[in-house]
Amino acid sequence: MAMKEAKSLIFLGRQPKLGLAELESLYGADAISLVNDIVAESNLSTSDIDFDRLGGSIKLADIIGTVNSTDWRKIEKVLLKQIPVTARSLEEGKIQFGLSVYGSKIRLQEIQATALRLKKAIRAKTDQSVRVIPNKEQFLSSAQVLHNHLTGPRGLEINLIEADGRTIVARTVTEQDIEAYAKRDQKRPKRDARVGMLPPKLAQIIINLAVGNPKKIEGKTTHTPIILDPFCGTGVVLQEALLMDYHVIGTDIEPRMIEYTQKNMEWLYREKNIEGFLRYLAAGDATQHQWLEASVIDAVACEGYLGQPFNTFPSEEKLRDVMSTCNQIMKGFLKNIADQIESGTRLCVALPAWHRPNSKLEHLKLLDSLEELGYNRVSFVHVREEELLYYRPDQVVARELLVITRK
């Protein structure tokens, strides 16, 4: 697939396939292309990418240029000419400078040596003092970038990405705000480990996969888009949807979870200036509930019932029992809501999948009967269905993101 000239780079998170699917969902397959396993390039400018809503990307950068070589000395020669010019655009004062390298086998010592030579060149061209952020690895961590203000008015992080015999040179524009995520996750008044801890980043990905291109939703509705979470738990998906300026509806089978969500929403409104609002929050069994405003729901985003958590792989009998229960609940939910939402409504549901010790993945049987249930599975160009997984290597239960539309 041909793509217009790349303008920006997006650095993907710990589960890069999810980040890639999220980008494709929001901006279209022809707007992005993989550079390597963790970096995508886009023909969109950085100003056209709403980075704060991306849960699966950790860094956004403007492409400065490309060196048609992977030879470090040739790359350094180009940098010594170009980067001091770039540094002239910074505000006066001490410059914070960092160098990050991806996909190269260059030694850390050589990266540091080049950074120091660039420091000297920047100082000579700008007449400003320069501080180099020391590399602990080939690329700087998000914490280093944020702590040293490398995306600020006197900050400059240069990224070098080696791919296909060339080296892309890009300047970091923004970095994922890890402190803000931690606050949203840990400072909420009500949390409950027994029902699982959905990370805000994953909630953002689920919402974006459910919504798809926001302009398409906005074009077919006369109201602010409404997102439903029928398994709302403590309200993480609702929280992240509100922060994206959507309206939300939440239900959960446990009244206690509704109480928790209400407290968390009140906290969120105190903390943030939010335009979206909570339209409807009530206790309800997702396999039977009749949502009062189902006809105006624009997308469904949720983490479904994941079953019992396991620290070690269970017996076959136990696994089959848990799988059967999860399948029954989630199939019941899809049947129930199918009669209430309009044709074309898109859903992203996190389902459980179980990692066997031999790495084989066990899925819910309902995946084989989606058409019978009234749904079409959404296909992605850059990511296969089986790659839409969120998990840690040591986890037995993974989250499998199912993206579907109502027929």
CATH code where residue 313 lies: 3.40.50.150
In a domain, 92, yes or no: yes
In a domain, 125, yes or no: yes
Q: Are 366 and 293 part of one and the same domain?
A: yes
Of the candidates 228, 256, 251, 222, the residue with the CA atom closest to the CA atom of residue 241: 228
List Cα–Cα distances, 50 to 8, 10, 44, 151, in angstroms.
13, 11, 11, 16
Cα 67 to Cα 389: distance, rounded to the nearest angstrom: 35
Number of structural domains (the chain) is 2
pLDDT in tens, the chain (407 residues): 344 588 999 999 999 999 999 999 999 999 999 999 999 999 999 999 999 999 999 999 999 999 999 999 999 999 999 999 999 999 999 999 999 999 999 999 999 999 999 999 999 999 999 999 999 999 999 999 999 999 999 999 999 999 989 999 999 999 999 998 988 888 888 877 666 689 999 999 999 999 988 777 666 666 788 999 999 999 999 999 999 999 999 999 999 999 999 999 999 999 988 888 888 899 999 999 999 877 789 999 999 999 998 889 999 999 999 999 999 999 999 999 999 999 999 999 999 999 988 878 999 999 999 999 999 999 999 999 999 999 988 889 999 999 999 99
CATH code where residue 74 lies: 3.30.2130.30
In a domain, 3, yes or no: no
Q: Is 328 left (phi over 0), alpha (psi -120 to 50) or beta?
A: alpha
Mention every residue, 6+ apart, whose C-beta is less than 8 A from residue 2: none
Sheet containing 8-12: which strands, arranged edge to edge? Answer: 32-34, 39-42, 8-12, 57-67, 166-175, 155-163, 95-102, 130-132
In a domain, 330, yes or no: yes
Q: Give the end of a domain, one of 138, 156, 176.
A: 176
Of the candidates 25, 12, 19, 26, the residue with the CA atom closest to the CA atom of residue 61: 12
Q: Are 170 and 190 part of one and the same domain?
A: no
Confidence (pTM): 0.95
Q: Give the end of a domain, one of 116, 148, 176.
A: 176
In a domain, 335, yes or no: yes
Cα 369 to Cα 374: distance, rounded to the nearest angstrom: 9
List Cα–Cα distances, 303 to 12, 200, 285, 349, in angstroms.
22, 12, 14, 6
Cα 277 to Cα 48: distance, rounded to the nearest angstrom: 26
Decide: 256 and 277 in contact? Cβ < 8 Å.
Answer: no
Q: Are 59 and 130 part of one and the same domain?
A: yes
Q: Give the end of a domain, one of 128, 157, 176.
A: 176
Sign of the alpha-carbon torsion through 141, 244, 375, 333: positive
Domain that holds residue 309: 181-406
